[in-house]
Structures are given as C-alpha cells and as structure tokens.
Amino acid sequence: MSQTNAILEKPDAEALAKTKLRSDFVWGVSTSAYQIEGAAAEDGRGPSIWDTRCRTAGGVVNGDTGDVACDHYHRYEDDIALMRDLGVDAYRFSVAWPRVLPRGRGAVNDKGLDFYDRVIDGALAAGIEPWLCVYHWDLPQALHDQGGWANRDCAGWYADYAALLARRYGDRVKRWITFNEFSVFTLFGYAIPWAAPGITDREQHLRAIHHVNLAHGAGVDVIRDLVPGASIGAVHNRQRVLPEGDRAENVEAAALLDEHWNLAFCDPQLLGHYSPRVAKAIEPYVQAGDMARICRPMDWFGLNHYGPIFAKADPTRAWGYGWGDAPPDSPTHGVGWAVFPDAFRDELLEITRRYRMPIVITENGCGGNDTPDESGAIDDQHRINYLRLYNAKMHEAIRAGADVRGYFVWSLLDNFEWGSGYGNRFGIVHVDFATQKRTPKASARWYADLIKSERFRA
C-alpha cells in the first residue's frame, strides 16, 4: 500500500460511524449536458463556447471534443435504466442552452425542447425525480460573440432562457438549480484560461462575476414565478483554499483565491454583499439596486465538494495567484486531487454557520483511470473508499448540526471531463467510448447497496 493513499485503501472503521438520516433524504447521481449528450450538431443544436474551446489548439487534452461524448442524446433510456437499477431517488442533469435556443435567444428549437421532455418523462416513469440545472457552462457561442458574461445583457438573456425552461418543464420538474459552480466557470473562463472561453482579463472576470450573480437572481425570480411549488437551489463548489507552504506571498494568494472561489457568489446571493476585496474591485460594475436583485430567497444550498485546493503567488497570472501543490505526502486520488475528508465535514459546518440553510450535496466523487480487467469488470476500490469516507464525514457533520438533505454522486457515467478530455474518469459506470458500452463499476454496486441500507435505517 502506498503511504500517500493509505487513507483510501484502509479507512479507519471508527471514522465510518453513521447517524440516522432524514426519512426524506435524497440519494442521486449528477451529470451535465455537454459532458454526456454528444449529438453536438444534431436536430438543430447551435454551437456553444465549449465546441469552440475543443477546436482551439491546446484547449483540451488530446484534442478531445464533446461531439459524441457518451451519446446520451440517443442512449438516455439506457442511462435512465442504469439509474433505476442503482435505486437512486433523483437525477441531476443540465439543459444545453444552445440545444433549445441555438443562438442563445430568439428562435426556439423544438426538437431540443422535446429531448428534455423525453428525459424528464423517462426519469419520472422510472420513479426518479428530475433535478434540472439551467446552466452548466455551455454558453451559446452566439451570445459569447456579443460579449457573453462580460456583457450585462447576458443576465437578461439567461432569465429569458430560464423562463422558457420553467414554462415548458415546470409542470413536472420541481427541483431547480440556477447555475453549477459559478466560481469555476468564471475564474477559469475569464482569469486563468483553463476553460471556455479562455480569456485572461481582470476586468472581464469581475464583470462576469457580477453579471452571473445578476442572472442567478433574475433566474430565481422567473422560476419562482412560473413554477408552482418550485424548490430552488444554486450549486456552489466550496473547497478550503490553503497556501502552498507558508511563504507570506502564498498566504496572501490563498486569501484572494478564497474570496474568488468561495465567497464571490455565495455571499452576495445569500448575505446581500460582496466580501471585502471583491467588493472594492467590483464597485465600478455595480448599479443601484443590484444587490437586492442578486440576493433572492433560496430553498437550499447546493454543495459540490472534492477536496481542498492550494494557491501560490504567480505574477504571470491575471490576479497574481496561481494553482499551488498540496504537501508532497498528501493523500490523493487517481487524478491527483487531494483527499481530505475532514475538510468536507468542516465545509458542511462552515456553510451551516455562515448561511444557515439546508444543504444538498450536489456533487462528490473521485476521478481515476479505471480500466476493465480481463473479465471486463472494473474494481474501483479507491472510489468506494473515497465515497465511504466522505459519506462518513457527512454523517459527522449532520451529528454536529448541519442540515443535509441529499447526496448526489459525480458522476453517473465516465464522461467528457472538460480540459482533461476523456482521460479522467469520474463515473460509477464505465463507458467504453469506442463502443459506448456501459459497465457498472464496483462502486455502482456499492452505491446501490448504500442507498438500500440507508433507506432501511431511515
């Protein structure tokens, strides 16, 4: 057993103690449109900034694209059957904005809307509640060409798009998510160019932060207005930010990254103000009444959590900070991300302390390079151990007062992992991308058993 991964290979039994969950606790799996659908040029779908990114030299490892991905557009019925076999209560998916509005606004693509009708109806028929995420990073290219999130009008375009979805699906979908991981797509899209649209510009980053916050507020209002009984959340990726080592400039770098990563969206949306450094920098873009437009009543806090992140000073980057390394002896999982289960518990408790609301864990999971053995089985014990440990920390947080209402694994399927292409596999179901064959991994069986046993205890 390698020392670094000892925590994953031999979790301490005491650390796995359980508490009783609410009887309405929701167990689910998460996916997102661009990562699984494929059919990128089919049935009238327009291009998104990710289609462009995939065609930009150096944009994605191996030049991989989401053109086919998991071909979920054609295989959604099989994928719903996989979810039914897992026994999940809920399926969190996202709608591809350019599939339903190929140019982002204006002409509607009926075939695109029909596709999500089929997914929603199929999930409901299988006894699985659809949780709809309005935006998971695939901005229509046509809107980016008009300034994208750096243009204040984008908040209104988003509200119109959200209204279209609310009118169409609100009779069947009651769980709505405005955005997935605000800070990731704004930071990596506009400041550290690791994601679409791949811009490096402080001013555009600040504008994007504020306009996305305005879009969120407007989206909450239209969904609340159009969907009777809607339960609305926003999904924030909160990860503790630690300095690489203890040099003062790295400590400073971590403090600024913490504001951009953990506070720039949660605080204005839930407390009605920006955190100190962001507030100062963003002032030129804030108009009278904006904070009230952004801070709308929410039903729950969506948390995506994987592990802590590390910052170091890097004068070549837009904000003077860059990604740092975890201490060399840190436990890591397959894709090299740090594994600190305690940080997950602490994050749940910090959200409880700071925002005082119910929490749904909308993503948690573990990447790796899982390959089938000779018999075709995929024995991903590393993922099972990760999920066991993180679940145990969720129980610990609940015992300490966190009001956790649900847990979704990222992800149902191996999929297009953005800039890493198909190399990082996060699925509990293996996908052979050459044949599109799905094979549940050992972790899928483990998750199905966990859900059964938790229901039994409830």
Residues annotated as catalytic (active site), given as ranges: 181, 363
Residue 245: what residue type? G
In Å, what is the CA distance from 185 to each residue of 118, 119, 190, 205, 319?
Answer: 28, 26, 8, 10, 16
For residue 323, how many other CB atoms are within 10 A of its CB? 15
Q: 368 and 334 in contact (C-beta within 8 Å)?
A: yes
* CA 168 from centre of chain: 24
114 CB-side CA count, 13 A: 7
411 preceded by a cis bond (ω within 30 of 0) = yes
d(CA 129, CA 329): 41
At 422, give phi and psi (nearest 5°): -95, 10
In this structure, what DSSP letter does residue 285 have?
G
Q: What is the DSSP letter of 67?
A: S
In the complex with ligand IFM, the residue whose CB is nearer, 93 or 410, is 410
CA distance 246 to 248: 6
What count of other Cβ atoms lies within 10 Å of the Cβ of residue 449? 12
Rounded to 10 deg, the angle between the 202-226 and 182-190 helix axes is 150
Torsion of CA 431, 364, 255, 213, to 10 degrees: 90
User: d(Cα 257, Cα 251) in Å, to the nearest integer?
Assistant: 10
Q: What span, in angstroms and rounded, lies between the C-alpha atoms of 104 and 102?
A: 6
Determine the Cα–Cα distance for residues 402 and 324; give it in Å rounded to an integer: 30
The CA radius of gyration of the chain, in Å to the nearest whole number, is 21
* Strand partners of residue 437: 432
Residue 135's φ and ψ, nearest 5 degrees, are -140, 115
Sign of the dihedral defined by the CA atoms of residues 345, 91, 451, 443, in that order: negative
Which amino acid is it at 432? Answer: D
Positions in the binding site for ligand IFM (CB under 6 A): 32, 35, 181, 304, 363, 410, 417, 426
Residue whose pair of structure tokens reads 């408790």 in the numeric block: 349
